[in-house]
Structure formats: C-alpha cells, structure tokens
Structure 1
C-alpha cells in the first residue's frame, strides 16, 4: 500500500509507503541520496531509528507504487484527491501547490516549469534572449523558482547554478515536446523524399 501525502510544513506532495505513515506523521530518511530514496520508496523499506518525522495529510491511497505515481500530478493540483471530482469546476490555478515536490533538483525544477509555462510559451523563451526570444535570466520569476526549489527539503541545498542549468535545459527542449521532435523528423523525411524528384527534373 502506498499513500500520496502532503507535508504540512512545506506543502510538498510525495508518494510514500503506507508503512512510513502513522497518526498523520511520516517518517522520512532525510540523509538518503535521491536514488537511494527512490529505491527505498519503491521497495517499501522499513523506517529506521534515525529517520526524521514530519506531520502530513494523506491525500490518496493506492495499492501499488505505479498507481500512486500516476495520481501524483493530479495530487499537485488538488487539495484532496478523494473529493477532486466534486470540485472540478473550481479554477485550476486556485488549487495549485505553493511548493511542488520532487525527488531531486532536476525533477523539482522541471515540475515547477511545467506548471508555470505552457509549451507554446516556453518556445518563446531562452536563457539569454537570443534569436528574438524573451530572456528568461532577466525575469524575477527566476528567483521565485530558485526559492521554491529550496523550500523542498530534498533540494534545500540547491545552488543557483544547478537550478539555472535545469531551467536552461527545460527551455531548450521545448521544441521537442508536444510532438515537436516528430514533426521535425517528418519534415526532414519529406524534404529528403522530394529532393530526388527535383534532381530528376
């Protein structure tokens, strides 16, 4: 059994084994590296004596880790998944989390960027503002994202350089999302297909 829980202190949302939660308190291995943490969660590792305790609220219960992970994006936009269907008419922005969870810096930054920007808007941005695009590094939003990443207790020590690197990478890949890569590949193949016919003429 797995739970999706919200940490009261930071409002982060994460998937954890049910064995880690009792009486609205979640035991958490704060000293684990991201890969160790992911493995511990998937394998339902038993909490150790040195694990720290955090107050949480259970948002959703699932029989498997995979099922819980599939519900996680929805949990980040709903205050309570069990009653989410009842309030689907509420403006989605009002249900956004102040802090978006993530197991490492990349995961956290990319989740934040995905919630803040549509892909069409992301295509109009790059870090330096070259090629007529808007310069992301000059936006105050950059500092907001860095602060949000550091509010996650798993990424509290993230440096400005690390956050910036993942923002740059996410923006760079905007053209590949929503079928962009496939569309470019199809155009390239079409171009190669028509070129021999032009040569024959």
Structure 2
C-alpha cells in the first residue's frame, strides 16, 4: 500500500516579489527575505521548490541569492497565489498587503509568472493552464523594437538657398542646408511628414551653432570687460571661389583692417569643438566651402593653391588658440590637423561616392 504523505501546511507571511535582474514575479516566505535580497532553493524539481515555498522551509547554506523588490505581502499562501496571478495584468500598486500597505505605482505591464503561464506552446496542444509549477531560475528577455529610418539624411554644410522643391502628390524633395559625411550633393526625396521633421532638425542645428558661438564668446569674456565681437560685414564666409580667397588674402594683409581682423579671430575662436582637431576643422569649415577646399592643399602640389604660404594660416592659428579649450595648441598640431582637413576635402560631401558612380559609368 502506498504511503500517504502528510498534508502541506503553511505558516508565517508570504511576499510577492519581483526579481530585479529578470523582471519576473514569484512568491517567497518572508523568512527568506532580508534587506532587498531573497534566498532561492537550488532544487531541480519544481515540485520541491513549491513545497519549500508553501512550507516556509528553512533556507540551506547552498541556496542562491537574488535581488528582489517587494510588491505585496499576505499571511495566507492561497491569497498570495491570487495576488501573483493578478500581478500579470494589473498595476502593481493595486497589490496591497492585508494590512493595507501600498506600493508605488508603476506602468501597467504584463508580467511573466513562474509556472502559472498559458501552455499554448506545448506540443500536446491541450490548451490547459498549468498551476503550481515554478522555474528554479527566472529569466525573461526584453523585446527590442525594429526601427528603420527611410529617407533621412544627416544635414551638414550650406549648399543652396532653398530647402524644398514641390513634386506631384504628397512627395517632396529636401535640399539640406547642412551636410555631414557621405550624404552626397543631391536632393533627398521625402514625404511631407519627413520634410517637416527635417526642416525642424535644420532649424535646431542652426540654433545649436548660434548657441555654441554665444557660449564660447561668454566663456572667453569671463573676468574681462571685452565687448562681444562680431564678424566684419564686408566679409562673407564661407569663401566659395578662388577669386574670393584671393580677395580675402588681400583684406587680411591690409593694416587698416587690423581691428576687424581681431574681431574675426574672436568670432572664429568661439566656434565649438571637443579638442584642437575639432576646433581647427570647424574653423576651416567656416572659412572655406567644400568646392574651394578641393582646390587648396598644404604645399600647392598639382597646381592647387598653397595654404602654407597664405595669411589665412596665421589667422587660423590665432583663432584656434583664442578658443578657451584649445589655448595650448601648438603650431605643429594645428598645421597637421589643417593638412588632414584639406586632404579629405575630395571625400567631403559625398565626393568619394560621386567618384565611385563616375567610375562605374566609365566602366559600363
């Protein structure tokens, strides 16, 4: 005759807790919990784990420790089971204790509960709920949304006057005022909604650049009574042609423009940047357009204009040192960053991509 096991009895308080690492919920005896940490049995059988919880078994020395957050407490195991089921669909603030203790409100979120899950994925297809089985180690993965951007490009440098060209229907064409990296030189097809977002982004970018200049100017003026410098009205930057570059060189050489030149150095020195390299590159981008930068290099090789002998080089060095974060930059450092900036001019604004298209067309 099979021996009948004694009935399970439960005593003491039971806690409904959320495991911090896995975001799963379970019942534990209060005797297992201390200072935000619970002990958890290392039994392989769910039946043994359930029995340990229900009988408030004394924790063993080899039990594992988990960080948990208390959601509710009750003096009856069956009442704890009801609250455990309710935690899957209700707000955790509704899981009050029998002594009317409330926990803080959280967003409504479906919870994974050990054992008490729908067995829809079981091979027998019975569709019955399984009660009373608990996993020995909780784990739930968080879904990662699959998001894509269609038709969005990162804006960078000024290339034109307008931003949009209307097409038939809801389709638009966006002409970025700012371009970065390999965004090309052409227009960007987009929907009306995307056009609105891109226009707002360009507006934010422009405001950010203005704020960066203002902040750097203020930082440079701290402790002094120097008035705010302004760019000379007779100079239009960036320079778009070599003839404008030559005129700018003559303007810099004229001693009558010394005061205006000092103001220009202060304005260019206020351009933001994380280090000497970024400040140098940002100042060069303010002075020269991409089209002109392709016609200049350090030594004037390949019939290009020699930057090493230009007065603009001295202006650049003084402007970089005028920046409060790069005041210690040496001539050698600034020159090396300048050389690299001109070497990359052909790839800037999608130049490398355009050359690849031309090469493919020639091969075809």
TM normalised by structure 1 equals: 0.50
Match of 1:72 among 208, 212, 223: 208
Q: Does 1:124 align with 2:289?
A: no
The CA deviation at 1:184 is: 0.5
On the 8 A contact 2:300/2:307 being kept in 1, the answer is yes
Residue 268 of structure 2 contacts residue 283 of structure 2 at CA under 8 Å; is this kept in 1? no
Unaligned runs of 5+ in 1: 1-66, 80-89, 195-201
Judged with a 3 Å threshold, the aligned counterparts in structure 2 of structure 1 residues 68 and 187 are, in CA distance, closer, same or farther, namely closer
Q: Secondary structure at the match of 1:121?
A: helix
Name the structure where helix makes up a greater proportion of residues.
1
Partner of 1:146: 317
Bigger Cα Rg:
2
- Determine the structure 2 residue equivalent to 1:161: 332
Give 1:71 deviation, angstroms: 3.5
Q: 1:186 to 1:113 in 2, by over 3 A?
A: same
Which of 326, 347, 352 in structure 2 is aligned with 1:176? 347
Q: Distance in 2 between matches of 1:110 and 1:183?
A: 23
In the alignment, structure 2 segments of 5+ residues that lack a partner are: 1-202, 216-232, 238-262
RMSD: 3.1
Matched-pair contact (CA < 8 Å) for 1:77–1:92: no
Q: Deviations over 1:64-104 (max 9, x none)?
A: xxx9777422435789xxxxxxxxxx999599724222220
**Deviation above 4 Å: which 4+ runs of structure 1?**
67-70, 76-79, 90-96
Across the two proteins, how many residue pairs are aligned to each other? 117
2:247 is the alignment partner of 1:111: no
